[in-house]
Structure 1
Amino acid sequence: MKTLKLSLFAVAGALLLSFSANAQQATTKKAAKATPPKTEAKTLTRSAPAATTEAPKNMTPSGITWNEDSHTFGDIEKGKPVSHEFTFKNTTKQTVLVTGVKAQCGCTATNYTKTPIKPGETGIVTATFNAANPGSFSKTVTVTTNDSDVNKILTIKGKVIAPEGEAAPAPAVQH
């Protein structure tokens, strides 16, 4: 009887070990299916993004040629807005359209050529600065076109001076 008990106990232990090993293998297989295998990075560049409905970005600069991208007004009188026209030429083989012009802040107004610009034709972006506060300034205007996703940044600079007879603002006094 004692031998029979030991035999049953041994068989039960063997079955328990067998079930435990099978369960562990099944768990490992499920985890392997859930986690994709790791691959080594061969280059430092990003891999191509997954396919989306969005069109690929055109990160080459615009094909239009600007006469200048910065203008310095010098000293200007407070309260008198000043304007500058930035001109450009369409040096591409396609018609270009300025799709947007955005000033850095509300102190600068913009205007631009809104009609399509054919190859060889010129267009204009006008920046008008409202000289309301004395001091130096540097403002940007961002131009967006249909031929590139890279924006063009135009800059206007200068110094606003108070007119003769106007007192300079008093320095702040701390109490």
Structure 2
Amino acid sequence: MNDMNLNGPLLYSIFLWLFVSVTSCSHRTSQNQENNVFTAQVTFNDSIHDFGTFSSDNPTQKYIFFFMNRSNVPAVILNVTPSCRCISTEYTREVVLPGKSGKVEVTFDGTKSAVGYFDKSVQIRMNSPHTYTLNIKGHME
């Protein structure tokens, strides 16, 4: 008789767990679909720039990466993270409307760097699931 009493609550618990699992998964899917409405798609003119060989007498080198908002929602740069302290950035802080362009200016400051080859990167996070990586490289002599 005790075994019969446990089956009722056990079956009820299993049914309840399955119901919650199925409904929470379908809710999560619809949330992801709603979030895609706010996902921007951008393309950069290029993702790598080679400064070539330059003198340590002129250790500061700049390059501007341009991007185009190819989606139908505004694009916003949320975070820009250089790979080292020798890189600084300036970037479009305003909302970039669909069909418009923005920029990320990357400056390499070699005043405190050793001469030689370098290959550095900048991570760009936007209202997009994709993280964009821009690279600069060169040889300071």
**TM-score by structure 1 length?**
0.58
CA drift of 1:72 comes to 0.3
Give the one of 144, 149, 153 matched to 2:133: 153
> How far does the alpha carbon of each residue in 1:44-85 deviate from its partner, in whole angstroms, 9 at most, with x for none?
xxxx97978xx6486xx9511211011000012225211100
Matched pairs, number: 130
Q: Distance in 1 between matches of 2:75 and 2:82?
A: 21
Q: Distance in 2 between matches of 1:129 and 1:50?
A: 48
Asked if the contact 1:102/1:143 (under 8 Å) is kept, the reply is yes
Q: Distance in 1 between matches of 2:129 and 2:101?
A: 20
Q: Distance in 1 between matches of 2:44 and 2:105?
A: 13
The ranges of structure 1 where at least 4 consecutive aligned residues each deviate by more than 3 angstroms after the TM superposition are 48-52, 55-58
**Structure 1 or 2: larger strand share?**
2
Identity of aligned residues (%): 28
| Bigger RCO (CA 8 Å, 6+ sep) | 2
**TM-score by structure 2 length?**
0.71
> How far does the alpha carbon of each residue in 1:80-123 deviate from its partner, in whole angstroms, 9 at most, with x for none?
21110000111111111111111011111111000001111110
Unpaired segments of 5 or more residues in structure 1?
Answer: 1-47, 162-175
Asked if the contact 2:60/2:108 (under 8 Å) is kept, the reply is yes
Structure 2 partner of 1:10: none
Structure 2 partner of 1:100: 79
* Greater radius of gyration (CA): 1
